[in-house]
Structure 1
Amino acid sequence: MPGTNLTREEARERARLLEVDSYDVELDISGAEEGGTFRSVTEVRFRCAEPGAATFIDLVAPAVREVVLNGRALDAAEAFADSRIALDGLAAENTLRVVADCAYTNTGEGLHRFVDPVDKQTYLYTQFEVPDARRVFASFEQPDLKAVFAFTVTAPAGWQVVSNSPAPEPVAKDGTRTWVFEPTPRISTYITALIAGPYHVARDVYRGTAADGTPVEVPLGVYCRPSLAEFLDAEEVFRVTRTGFDHFQEKFDHPYPFAKYDQLFVPEFNAGAMENAGAVTIRDQYVFRSRVTDAAYEGRAETILHELAHMWFGDLVTMEWWNDLWLNESFATYTSVLALSEAPGLWPGAWTTFANQEKAWAYRQDQLPSTHPIMAEIRDLDDVLVNFDGITYAKGASVLKQLVAYVGQEEFFAGVRRYFKRHAWANTRLVDLLSALEETSGRDLKAWSKAWLETAGINVLRPEPVWAEDGSLASLAVLQEAPPLPQGAKGQSVLRPHRVAVGFYRREEDGRLRRADRVELDIDGPRTEVPVAGKGLRPDVILLNDDDLTYAKVRLDERSLAVVTAALGAFEDPLPRALCWSAAWDMTRDGELAARDYLRLVLSGVGSESDIGVVQSLQRNTKLALELYADPAYRPEGLAEWADAALGLLRSAPAGSDHQLAWARAFSAVARTDDQLALLRGLLDGTASVDGLEIDTELRWELLERLVATGVLDGDAVDAELARDATAAGERHAAGCLAARPTAEAKEEAWASVVDGNELPNALQEAVIMGFVQPDQRELLERFTERYFASLLDVWRTRGNDMAQQIVIGLYPSMQVRAETLARTDAWLAETAAEAPAALRRLVSESRDGVARALRAQERDRAAG
């Protein structure tokens, strides 16, 4: 990826010089069905604070045909180099015209082109975050150079063409249609968008009332490919969206800032979704072709609300530079989960899901060598490209939840409203938000910001109870620890102020654990006393961070741990159950709880766990614990016990329930004996059944992949299944199945297609990598360790960012949990210290940490055996 970087200093200097007024962008995609390149014409008007100065505009294109600055033609061959067009002799008022041939991509960056195998039609969409608008039109590619954009697009007749703004009826000519979109408000380049193709569309209108009583009416659209139209539950998407509009407009006291709101389910999307202003793109796996559990609908709803929240956080008000990316992502995450939990008809248990999944992601990220403050140091674009992580999203949202508990929800949102009114259509930094929150809360947040936003690492909270002779709780202290940051991490660990609730739970006569009392207080320093003296409390479980108010790892005292181990499923409410499950998993990852003991804990309580999202997390975690954290000598026994338990829970689950489907998938992933694999084969070919379980398209592929990976079925079975499901999703599944075959030839073929070749589109590459890495095939994969390290630099230099990250992370020898893997990684890091970019070294170091953690956990499990 040479020549495409941009440093913060370069961006700061360009922003000092320039103020951009507007872009007129003309794109001719009428030849998209043939692929190749498309004509891009950009006319940008901008001002310069120092006439006579020089700067540059960004462009990634195979060819530049014309560059005209203020009527002066520049030599394109001379001016265009390293993805930049040099501009000298600027005037106070400038007009620049750039004509280029830009390229369609199959990487999910820039203007992505996809051909649907069902209808053979071409579908396009843009993905511009972080720096890829420059792959479609010449642009000053940084968030603080906002402008007004007017797009004109010529496309094949019969296509839908969508951008940020509405458009009048297109003009037809010679088999094409030209769409002239209305100018946008002032927005950043990375949230502009173009989606085009013969998409299916459903339409609706949001009608509501602004806080001042003004009626609000926003046209809504939901799009997908026609081959997915039969599965599109547009009304449910509209329902969640309308509910989000009501919630956010009330909370933010600012009307929706754009003229319409489209949501487009697009193919081969690298992320979950993207907050393009008024034209949100979402990965089309969220159009469910087969039955899914309620947790999947909750996850999709959170994504919908997250992107809708971005219309305010990120699009209306945008960070000045990428070090404040959290201003976008943390706020969108926090407010989307809050909306899910508070808005009528959505998911009241959303904070349980957040505690169990999102915070686990944050805890994992915060213990890596690459841990960083929420407000991260972003030196250049390479830094930010690997910074869309659990700290920026989940830790940031957790800290905001704590801030709300600290200042009060009404005071918090009063500050947010003031922030929007003060900075609408502008760019901001951390100080701008904190100033507004200080004004409305009356609190000085500088120390809070320093401790929470500007330092890295995670604290541990432990209870220290003292019991009276009569069995009551005589006193209780909360001990706070700040474990050292991982080796290689920047900064120092710190103790932080926490707003926490302490829950005291009693086992009732019916066997249920219910909260008997609760104390909310501020924790600061290494030891804080909890006011319990004289209350006569006799808790069976003391739960720190009850209600999940703060961001910290929590441990249980000896008595509480014994009760939880025996009866974790007895908690009446789902959130304390999720917090205890989370603590147990974190202890397992940290080597404080043996993998075999985690398995026993899960088996003791998962059968009575009602929250399907928690059940699915436990299934994933248990499989991971046995594959990576268990002593290799114990692993076969543990996996066999887990497979037997999963089969038993599958058979005992209510027919047709979410739990039944979840256990079918969990069992399919670990089936191993001849009888278990025969059952999978029977479910696939119809000779066996489980009452109420529908073997639909997606489940068929899951069964098939396990049968292929274990050598029961071969490539002929994959070909036959692909003939049944000749869709884009079917092609992805087939590619993964073929890569999963347990033969040296299959592994060589998969490796060559991903590493040696460069033709696979992003979605197929991802599928091949996921199929390639099978935990049961460690010996087959061992031969690729040295080839992995030998290929890294070339992969990073020759692939787009997202596809390079897929390879670097996905093909790291994570299954080779031994000291030799650490040594080889360390050798590579030492050998390439001068030439490997920091972003690449970060990804490799993070992967190394996973092996080091697994080695420690295996030692703990070995000791427990």
Structure 2
Amino acid sequence: MSSVRPLSSGQPSGEPAGDIDTYRIDANTVRVPNLTREDARHRARLLRVESYDVLLDLTDASGGPSERTFRSRTTIRFTAAIPGASTFLDVVAERFHEVSLNGQPVDVSGYEPADGIVLPDLAEHNVAVVDADLLYTTNGQGLHRFVDPIDNEVYLYSQFETTDAKRMYACFDQPDLKASFTLHVTAPAHWKVVSNGAVTAVKDAEDGRQMRTTHFATTPRMSTYITALVAGPFFQATDHHDGIDLGLYCRNSLAEHFDTDELFTITKQGFDWYHRHFGYRYAFGKYDQLCVPEFNSGAMENAGCVTMSEDYVFTSRVTDERRERRATTVLHEMAHMWFGDLVTMRWFDDLWLNESFAEWAANMAQSEATKWPGIWTTFANTEKTWAYRQDQFPSTHPIACEIEDAEAVEVNFDGITYAKGASVLKQLVAYVGLPQFLAGIRQYFAEHAYSNTTLGDLLATLNATSGRELSDWAKVWLETSGISTLSPELELDSEGRFSSFAVCQDAPRDTSSDNTVRPHRLAIGLYSYDDAGALVRVHRAEVDVDGERTPIAELVGQQRPDLVLLNDDDLTYCKLRLDPHSLHTLRHGGLAALQDSLARTLCWSAAWEMVRDAQLAARHYIALVTDAAGSESTISVVQSVTKYALQALEMYADQDWAQAARVRFADLALANARAAVPGSDHQLAWVHALLNSAGTEEQLDFAAGLLSGEQQLEGLAVDTDLRWLILRSLVANGRAGEAEIADAAAADPSAAGARHAATARARIPTAEAKAAAWTLMVDNSELSTAMRRAVMEGFRDRWRPELLTSYTTRFFKEADGLWDRLSTETAKFMVIGLFPNWSSAIDSETLRLADEFLADTSRPAALQRLISEGRSEVARAVAARAVDTAAG
């Protein structure tokens, strides 16, 4: 370590290579190299990367945190299969101090961030050095910089998936060029610095400045996108389990809310389950989990250094659904230590080898090892609904699909890659058996540890351990797109028994999917009322279904029940249709009487998909919610069905009917909140439903009374988050405004409070407020992604759609500019979030504008995809509204 010297940001170590002076670029909007699959394959055939040695200096001249740029010096050792060939090195830099290859300067005078650095005339064994000033970001990609408004402390964290490691150090930024990494970081002395490896030494600055250099252990071979750095004055909690040092981190200003005991318990339960079933010990030494600010997603599986959204530090009361969701996230990222980190997909075609497996494994571990054994109910209710929606877009794709470049994969972190993939794995387990499946997984890890794989590698091991040839199964389930619909076809004899019973499979008949009829292993449940009035299962048949029509001989002669439930126990992935008699049962009290939570969830899901498919009127779905949601015991289901009810009122219902229905729904929510057990999750969930739908003076008076203390619900604590939700409801209805928002922001000066205030301001029901929100979101490149999301949440107005009418045309005029100006990740969520599918845009004019936009096929494929998805949602809503109007 003695040869490692700290760098001072902005202090050159020598003359700049080439003829480059400092020039300013916008870290949030600069386009990084869009690596193509062919370029990645060529580079992987040419190179083997041995190691990276990375020195980072995060300080300014005084030893405090640097503000805009940081110094990064990277030494890369690699071999070339063809001496004399050239390759390219990825980096997004503002200024170079040194660029050399094998001791010779490299000309970077024509450098552009989107092109990287050309390395010519490679030797067999090579050493490249890049010493440069790189840029912090505020968009959650690269090395993100955040200032805590409570204490003005700076916090940094990295986010490199899919190809953003080049924003922190020069590298060959693709998943199949694995290497070992050694990191050295100079930072302010009071900071904690965390990376993939364990800390091996910490040295104070010799010149008296209050900074120190932390040296980390060299990692095993890993991909660039799972390397990590987190730094700042974090609160830290430690523990130890099964030979693994555990750490939990959050900002100091959140430490009082950090429930580390529960998180450590979940972590230990996860390691025990994975070690027991995967047969390969955790490979990355220590295990840190860090809750970081302004994170763009739930979490990221950096090896041994997992970053999570600090929304999982609950500063106000949440329902158990949020804790259950947090546990899933913890276990999902831990599963990635095997699926993705130990064994990594060769290219993003096989992204599902990471995400689908991690999602399946997390739910398995959670159901068997934690206090949430009902997680598969939540999965069926939320995650599969996400998958169904995604799989019916015109942009649907196979689970294992061809990805041409890195930009294309950004939009594939979707319901198909996560939830459909996990559902299909659950189907595969039912098909081959859990012991055989786990045996294949153990063999897969043993054979491919620290390397990269494809679908074929996985199938080879599963073929061997299951005794089944799975190539045909993989082709129809993994390599084709679309979702099948399963329906019962039944006939009765004179005594009300089944004289015939068949399962009919209807493959999608559109041009976007592959119209594939798939084999299914599924259960069929027959449910009837018992003497106490409960709807209970009286018979279950587990069968194999294949083809367009599969007779089920086992059910012939069975008495027709009150409810026939295909895909009972949720073994397969399909849309489910209910026969008329079963639907009648559910619509007349049966859903509330159904005892099994997973069976209820499947019925709720089937009803919702029928609304989206314009086969069940939205008003009839609202009636189901009115009838049964108040007695629903599973909190995640309550929260989902109330959310879907509000969506149905906004998008799928006849709008003349919906106005009065909204009032009735809010009254229902208030009644259920009052009837709920004091202090219960159900009480809180129904209060949230009320605040999201309130519109009458009486309803708003109640909300205002909760805020002032004049109204109370026994057991309901009006804490910080609830106060903001109440205020937003009042603001949206014209009962509060800027003065009240300013007072609330002053009372809550946290980062979350600033986001809440931004949402509330954007929710003010005036044209001026909407215009200000639009300008802030669209034109301010320095706005953090988290703040942009908060403004967008307020901009979209469910109950004042007339305020958004002019933005339908404006969106299509400005979408290209959004895509060009913003990073891919930010532009993606902006296009999705601002696509005009609000109530006033559910019409033929929006469809026409979308068609005009899509007609220009010269636009980026990822942008075209997102626009086509938005158009699809509007087309569905138009059809559903027609059905609901006809039902009135």
Cross-structure match for 2:77: 45
* 1:403-445 deviation line (CA, Å, top 9, x unaligned): 0000000000000000000000000000000110000000010
- Conserved in 2, the CA contact under 8 Å of 1:474 and 1:532? no
- Conserved in 1, the CA contact under 8 Å of 2:65 and 2:187? no
Aligned in 2, Cα 1:376/1:837: closer, same or farther, shift over 3 Å? same
Cross-structure match for 1:513: 535
Aligned in 2, Cα 1:164/1:2: closer, same or farther, shift over 3 Å? closer
Q: Post-superposition shift, 1:492?
A: 2.5
Question: Unaligned 5+ residue runs, structure 2?
Answer: 1-29
Cross-structure match for 2:301: 275
Give the one of 38, 52, 59 matched to 1:30.
59
Cross-structure match for 2:249: 223
Give the one of 155, 163, 167 matched to 2:195.
163
Aligned in 2, Cα 1:843/1:829: closer, same or farther, shift over 3 Å? same
Give the one of 93, 96, 100 matched to 1:68.
100
Cross-structure match for 1:312: 338
* 1:177-213 deviation line (CA, Å, top 9, x unaligned): 1011000000000000000000000000012xxxxxx
Cross-structure match for 1:296: 322
Aligned in 2, Cα 1:534/1:396: closer, same or farther, shift over 3 Å? closer
Counterparts of 1:824 and 1:81, CA distance in 2: 35
Give the one of 654, 675, 684 matched to 2:707.
684
Counterparts of 1:4 and 1:775, CA distance in 2: 39
5 Å-filtered alignment, 1:118-197, equals 118-173=150-205, 174-197=209-232
Q: Post-superposition shift, 1:3?
A: 5.7
* 1:763-793 deviation line (CA, Å, top 9, x unaligned): 1111001100111221111122222222212
Secondary structure of the corresponding residue to residue 548 of structure 1:
coil
Q: Post-superposition shift, 1:727?
A: 0.2
Secondary structure of the corresponding residue to residue 300 of structure 1:
helix
Counterparts of 2:747 and 2:202, CA distance in 1: 39
Q: Post-superposition shift, 1:11?
A: 0.3
Cross-structure match for 2:878: 855
* 1:219-249 deviation line (CA, Å, top 9, x unaligned): 0000000111010000100000000000001
- Conserved in 2, the CA contact under 8 Å of 1:64 and 1:80? no
The answer on 1:449 being equivalent to 2:449 is no
Counterparts of 1:339 and 1:758, CA distance in 2: 41
Cross-structure match for 1:12: 41
Cross-structure match for 1:211: none
Q: Post-superposition shift, 1:724?
A: 1.1
Give the one of 250, 265, 285 matched to 2:276.
250
Q: Post-superposition shift, 1:66?
A: 1.5
Secondary structure of the corresponding residue to residue 346 of structure 1:
coil
5 Å-filtered alignment, 1:706-785, equals 706-785=729-808
Aligned in 2, Cα 1:165/1:81: closer, same or farther, shift over 3 Å? closer
Q: Post-superposition shift, 1:533?
A: 5.3
TM-score (norm 2): 0.95
5 Å-filtered alignment, 1:277-676, equals 277-343=303-369, 345-485=370-510, 487=511, 489=512, 492-532=514-554, 535-566=557-588, 567-676=590-699
Give the one of 712, 722, 737 matched to 1:699.
722
Question: Unaligned 5+ residue runs, structure 1?
Answer: 208-216
* 1:735-776 deviation line (CA, Å, top 9, x unaligned): 000011011111111111111222211111110011001112
Letter of the 2:158 counterpart: T
| Further displaced range: 796-805 or 388-397 | 796-805
Secondary structure of the corresponding residue to residue 93 of structure 2:
coil
Q: Post-superposition shift, 1:394?
A: 0.2
| Further displaced range: 89-98 or 527-536 | 527-536
| Further displaced range: 280-289 or 770-779 | 770-779
Letter of the 1:636 counterpart: Q
- Conserved in 2, the CA contact under 8 Å of 1:167 and 1:181? yes
RMSD: 1.1
Secondary structure of the corresponding residue to residue 379 of structure 1:
coil
Letter of the 1:564 counterpart: L
5 Å-filtered alignment, 1:92-103, equals 92-103=124-135
Aligned in 2, Cα 1:34/1:149: closer, same or farther, shift over 3 Å? closer
| Further displaced range: 466-475 or 846-855 | 466-475
Aligned in 2, Cα 1:80/1:797: closer, same or farther, shift over 3 Å? closer
Counterparts of 1:651 and 1:382, CA distance in 2: 49
Give the one of 266, 277, 280 matched to 2:292.
266
| Further displaced range: 49-58 or 754-763 | 754-763
Counterparts of 1:786 and 1:554, CA distance in 2: 37
Secondary structure of the corresponding residue to residue 505 of structure 1:
strand
| Further displaced range: 239-248 or 565-574 | 565-574
Counterparts of 2:106 and 2:146, CA distance in 1: 35
| Further displaced range: 93-102 or 634-643 | 634-643
Counterparts of 2:555 and 2:709, CA distance in 1: 64
Secondary structure of the corresponding residue to residue 425 of structure 2:
helix
- Conserved in 1, the CA contact under 8 Å of 2:360 and 2:426? yes
* 1:828-847 deviation line (CA, Å, top 9, x unaligned): 222x422x211111111111
Counterparts of 1:150 and 1:616, CA distance in 2: 46
Letter of the 2:386 counterpart: W
Counterparts of 1:193 and 1:526, CA distance in 2: 49
The answer on 1:113 being equivalent to 2:141 is no
Q: Post-superposition shift, 1:534?
A: 6.0
Counterparts of 1:158 and 1:713, CA distance in 2: 43
* 1:588-612 deviation line (CA, Å, top 9, x unaligned): 1111000000001111111111000
- Conserved in 2, the CA contact under 8 Å of 1:105 and 1:113? yes
TM-score (norm 1): 0.97
Secondary structure of the corresponding residue to residue 315 of structure 2:
coil
Letter of the 1:703 counterpart: I
Cross-structure match for 2:14: none
Cross-structure match for 2:19: none
- Conserved in 2, the CA contact under 8 Å of 1:163 and 1:192? yes
- Conserved in 2, the CA contact under 8 Å of 1:79 and 1:87? no
The answer on 1:237 being equivalent to 2:269 is no
Q: % of aligned pairs identical?
A: 52
Aligned residues: 850
Secondary structure of the corresponding residue to residue 614 of structure 2:
coil
Counterparts of 2:810 and 2:781, CA distance in 1: 16
| Further displaced range: 779-788 or 542-551 | 779-788
- Conserved in 2, the CA contact under 8 Å of 1:66 and 1:76? no
Q: Post-superposition shift, 1:538?
A: 3.9
Cross-structure match for 2:20: none
Q: Displaced runs of 4+ in structure 1, greater than 4 A?
A: none
Letter of the 2:751 counterpart: A
Secondary structure of the corresponding residue to residue 814 of structure 1:
coil
Secondary structure of the corresponding residue to residue 670 of structure 1:
coil
Counterparts of 1:287 and 1:69, CA distance in 2: 46
Counterparts of 1:384 and 1:6, CA distance in 2: 11
Q: Post-superposition shift, 1:2?
A: 4.4
Counterparts of 2:364 and 2:553, CA distance in 1: 30
Secondary structure of the corresponding residue to residue 547 of structure 2:
coil
